[in-house]
């Protein structure tokens, strides 16, 4: 699906944009960065192609998938949580150092921190840490005892990051903000996994069929959504708005209502367009998994058996002293 999107972008979308006077500095040599999943470094250097500026995250993911399996294979399980914490901390420290402004030009700093693999490893490390924590009942219980403190602190930091950005303060945004977002939503995933089947609000919402359906095609939605937005904007400009303005009182529609309508239309179109490649491409490739069966247990877990954790018990109440 991704390679199809890259081909369509360089053969159809970008030439059309150039014919309209947009993105005239794009060269064919830029495509090599996208075919090799290195586009995040291309973007980090300031060569961002607007219609494709969301592909950077896919590049980081593929680079992670290329290296991380070897790390997991050779790392003893008892050291794995510490490894994840160390990787995340290294990425955070690197961002803080770069935020001093002594190593990268100020006009490139934010985008470099946002898109470079080495500055975004903490997000991946949080996911890897959760993946191993939920497989061990003891580790799961320890995290559950602290999550009521961790989650509010993480979401609070996210809010502070947003407030700082509104005031033009970029340090919190570029340094601790990314880690806070990763931890906050990591807590959501952790609760959904460890409390699965319970009456927890998150666990009651997660199994909704519409959400599961969107999740199934979310990769394709992500790949095509910017293209959908751009073409829908053209449709608004040349087709929808001219006809809408002919309707009496249509111009009195509140801006917020119009914006929500456009957002809903973008999401709906992206979803329905993503269903087609899901059935034509992704679903067919996923069927190949039967040739690569997953087997629980590996050299990584040989020192201590790890089994899926049952729903973690509540933390014991602290003892009262007289």
Query: Residue 11 — pLDDT band, cuts 50, 70, 90?
Result: confident
State residue 48's pLDDT score.
85
Of 21-30, 47-56, 134-143, 209-218, the poorest mean pLDDT is in: 21-30
- What's the gap between Cα 248 and its chain centre? 43
Query: Residue 2 — pLDDT band, cuts 50, 70, 90?
Result: confident
State residue 23's pLDDT score.
54
State residue 62's pLDDT score.
94
In whole angstroms, what is the distance from residue 177 CA to residue 156 CA? Answer: 10
- 169: pLDDT strictly greater than 80: no
Give the residue-averaged pLDDT of 24-28: 62
In whole angstroms, what is the distance from residue 273 CA to residue 260 CA? Answer: 20
In whole angstroms, what is the distance from residue 269 CA to residue 91 CA? Answer: 37
Average pLDDT, whole number, for the chain? 81
In whole angstroms, what is the distance from residue 162 CA to residue 159 CA? Answer: 5
State residue 252's pLDDT score.
63
Triad 69, 74, 76: Cα angle to 5°: 115
> In 63-100, which positions are buried (b, 16+ CB within 10 angstroms) versus exposed (e)?
bbeeeeeeebeeeebeebeebbeebbeebbebbeebbe
State residue 318's pLDDT score.
43
Percentage of the chain modeled with pLDDT above 70: 83
Of 134-148, 241-255, 295-309, the poorest mean pLDDT is in: 295-309
- 64: pLDDT strictly greater than 90: yes
Compare 260 and 58 and report the one with higher pLDDT: 58
C-alpha distances (whole Å) from 206 to each of 115, 182, 257 are: 29, 18, 27
Give the residue-averaged pLDDT of 38-53: 88
User: pLDDT of 113-128, one tens digit each?
Assistant: 999 999 999 999 999 9
**pTM for the whole thing?**
0.79
SS (H, E, C) the chain: CHHHHHHHHHHHHHHHHHHCCCCCCCCHHHHHHHHCCCHHHHHHCCCCCHHHCCCHHHHHHHHHHHHHHHHHHHCCHHHHHHHHHHHHHHHHHHHHHHCCCCCCCHHHHHHHHHHCHHHCHHHHHHHHHHHHHCCCHHHHHHHHHHHHHHHHHHHHHHHHHHHHHHCCCCHHHHCCHHHHHHHHHHHHHHHHHHCCCCCCHHHHHCCCHHHHHHHHCHHHHHHHHHHHHHHHHHHHHHHHHHHHCCCCCHHHCCHHHHHHHHHHHHHHHHHHHHHHHHHHHHHHHHHHHHHCCCCCCCHHHCCCCCCCCCCCCCCCCCCCCC
- 322: pLDDT strictly greater than 50: no
In whole angstroms, what is the distance from residue 41 CA to residue 132 CA? Answer: 29
- 249: pLDDT strictly greater than 80: no
- 321: pLDDT strictly greater than 50: no
Check: CB of residue 175 under 8 Å from CB of residue 190. no
Treating both helix axes as pointing N-terminal to C-terminal, what angle do 209-216 and 218-235 enclose, rounded to 10 degrees? 90
Query: Residue 141 — pLDDT band, cuts 50, 70, 90?
Result: confident
Compare 183 and 310 and report the one with higher pLDDT: 183
Give residue limits of the domains in the chain.
209-292
Query: Residue 61 — pLDDT band, cuts 50, 70, 90?
Result: very high
State residue 139's pLDDT score.
86
Give the residue-averaged pLDDT of 231-250: 70
Compare 53 and 172 and report the one with higher pLDDT: 53
Give the residue-averaged pLDDT of 216-226: 89
């Amino acid at each position: 699906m991704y390679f199809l999107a890259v081909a369509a972008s360089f053969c159809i979308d970008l030439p059309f944009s150039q014919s309209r006077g947009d993105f005239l500095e794009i060269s064919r040599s830029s495509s090599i960065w996208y075919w090799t999943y290195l586009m995040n470094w291309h973007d980090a250097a300031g060569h961002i192609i607007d219609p494709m500026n969301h592909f950077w995250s896919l590049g980081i993911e593929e680079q992670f998938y290329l290296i991380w399996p070897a790390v997991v294979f050779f790392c003893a399980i008892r050291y794995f949580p510490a490894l994840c914490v160390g990787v995340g901390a290294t990425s955070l420290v690197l961002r803080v150092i770069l935020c001093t402004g002594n190593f990268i030009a100020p006009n490139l700093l934010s985008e470099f921190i946002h898109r470079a693999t080495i500055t975004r490893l903490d997000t991946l490390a949080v996911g890897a840490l959760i993946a191993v924590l939920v497989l061990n009942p003891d580790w799961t219980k320890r995290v559950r005892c602290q999550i009521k403190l961790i989650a509010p602190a993480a979401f609070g930091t996210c809010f502070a990051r947003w407030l700082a950005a509104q005031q033009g303060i970029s340090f919190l945004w570029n340094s601790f903000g990314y880690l806070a977002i990763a931890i906050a939503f990591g807590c959501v995933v952790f609760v959904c996994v460890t409390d699965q089947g319970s009456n927890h609000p998150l666990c009651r919402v997660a199994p909704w069929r519409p959400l599961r359906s969107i999740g199934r095609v979310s990769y394709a939605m992500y790949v095509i959504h910017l293209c959908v937005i751009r073409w829908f904007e053209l449709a608004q400009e040349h087709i929808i708005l001219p006809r809408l303005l002919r309707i009496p009182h249509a111009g009195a529609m509140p801006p917020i209502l119009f914006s929500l309508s456009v957002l809903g239309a973008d999401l709906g179109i992206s979803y329905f367009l993503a269903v087609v490649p899901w059935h034509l491409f992704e679903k067919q490739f996923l069927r190949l998994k039967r040739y690569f069966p997953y087997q629980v247990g590996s050299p990584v877990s040989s020192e201590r058996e790890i089994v899926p954790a049952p729903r973690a018990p509540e933390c014991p109440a602290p003892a009262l002293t007289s």
